[in-house]
Amino acid sequence: MERLSFGHGFVPRIGRHNHRALDRALAPPGLFGDEPSDIPWVIIDGAWAKPDTPLLSQLRDLGVRILVDSQTWRLGDERTWEVAKYAALDHRPERPLTLSDVDALVAFIKAELEWQLTLGADALLLPGLMPKKDDDAGSRSLTLAAEVAMTNDVTIGKPIVGFFGGHSQSLDLINSMVGDSMIQLLSAVYVQVSPVNPMTDSVSKLIDVVEAVLRFERDGIPVVSGHLGALGGVLRSLGVSATDAGLGSGETFNAKRLLSRPVRKDNDSRGGPSGTRRYVMQLLRSVDRKQWDALMSVDAIRGFLDCRLTCCRFRTVHDRTEWAREHSLRSRVAEAVDLAALAPSMRASRQVDILQAARASLVTVNTSLQSSGHQTMPVEHVENQLAALGRILASQRAA
C-alpha cells in the first residue's frame, strides 16, 4: 500500500461554518500579487457535504486532495441522533455503534466508505470508535475497519487511512498497534487523542501525546494528528507528517465534552470567512473577538501584531475581525510552509526559535495590556511547549 504524503503538514478541517474561507484562500493570483494558499489536502465534514456541494468539484479541479471525516465516532453515543446533520445522514445506523454488535458495525463501515467514495475522497478514512480510559475500543475498531476495507471490492486501489482513537491516560495501548501486520497495510493513520488541550496541558502530558503519535511514524506509517493544530509546529518539527484543525477552532479535543454540550448556534450558516476566533501568529494562539478587540485598542500592540498576509493586506483593523477564518487558514498554512521548507534536521531547532520568539512577544504584549488596564494573555502554552520540546530533544540525543 502506498504511503501518503501530506505536503507541508497542515490539513484544514472544512465544513458548513468555514467553507467560504477556503474558497477565498484558493482564489487565483490577483492584480496586486495575491497568491492562493498552498493547500495540498483538506478534511471535509462528511456529515455536512453532499455529492453536489460546489466546493468538492472546485477542489478536484484545483488538485486539492480530499479526506472525508464524518466524525463517525459520535455514532457510538445515542445523543448524536439529536444533532440535525447526523439525523439527516442517509447511512446512519439504527442504533449506537458498539463492538458487541459486529454485524451492524461492519455494515456501517461499508456504507461510510461508499459514502466517502461518492463524495470523491482521494483516500478513505476508516470509521472508528473513541475509547474510554483503559478501554481498547480504539484499537479493536481500527483492526476491524481495516479488515473490512482490505476485503471490500469497492475500496480496492484507494489509499486507506486508519482511525485510531486513544484516551490520553491510556496511550500505552498504541504499543499494541505498532507493528501490527494489518496496520502496516494502511497508507496513513489518523490519531485522535482525547482529552487533549495543548493550551493548558502539562509538560508531561504533552510529551506523552507527542511520543504516542511518533510511535507510528517511527514504524514508517504517516500520521495525521487530529485536532492538534495548536501543537502542530512541535509535532511537525519532530517528524509527524501532519496535523489538522479548524480555522480558529477545533484546536483541542475532548470527545466526552463534545457529546454532552448543546449543538452550536451560529448565524453564519453559509460558511462565511468571519468567525468568533482569530489566530495570532506572533502569539501562537487563537483569540476570541473580545480578546482581539482589547489587543487592537492598544496602539503599541496594534502595529506589533499586524498581519501582512493577503487576508489582511487591504483591510482595516476592524475589518479583519470579519475575516478571521480566512486569516486563520492563511496563517496556519504560512507557518507550516516555512517549517517544511527547512531540512528535517533543522526543523526542531527552528521550532524552538519560534516558541522563544512567541514568549518574547507575549511579554511585550502583556506589558502593554497591563499598563492599559486590560487582562493579560496566558503564556502557559508557550512555556509548556518549549519545555516539552526541549525534553524530547534531550532524550533523543541521549539515545
Q: Where are the domains of the chain?
A: 10-260, 277-398
Q: Provide CATH code, domain 10-260.
A: 3.20.20
Cα distances (angstroms) measured from residue 233 to each of 46, 150, 198, 211, 337: 27, 33, 11, 15, 11
Full DSSP string of 279-299: EEGGGTEEEEHHHHHHHHTSH
Cell numbers found for residue 371: 499598563
Determine whether 151 is exposed, middle or buried from the number of CB atoms within 10 Å of its CB (0-12, 13-18, 19+). Answer: exposed
- Tell me what pLDDT residue 91 has: 95
- Tell me what pLDDT residue 265 has: 46
- Tell me what pLDDT residue 182 has: 86
**In sequence order, what are the residues at sequence separation of 6 or more whose Cβ sits closer than 8 angstroms to the Cβ of residue 180?**
143
Q: How far apart are CA 56 and CA 12, in angstroms?
A: 14
Residue 307 identity (one-letter amino acid): C
State which H helix or E strand residue 191 sits in. Answer: strand 188-194
Strands 65-69 and 124-125: unpaired
SS3 category, 89 = coil
- Tell me what pLDDT residue 318 has: 59
Cell numbers found for residue 119: 463524495
Q: State the pTM of this model.
A: 0.94
Buried/exposed code over 113-142 (b: 16+ C-beta within 10 A; e: otherwise): bebbeebbbbbbbbbbbbbeeebbbbbebb
Cell numbers found for residue 337: 510552509
- Tell me what pLDDT residue 320 has: 59
Query: Which segments in the chain show pLDDT lower than 50?
Result: 265-271
User: Looking at residue 125, what DSSP letter applies?
Assistant: E
Strands 285-288 and 277-280: antiparallel
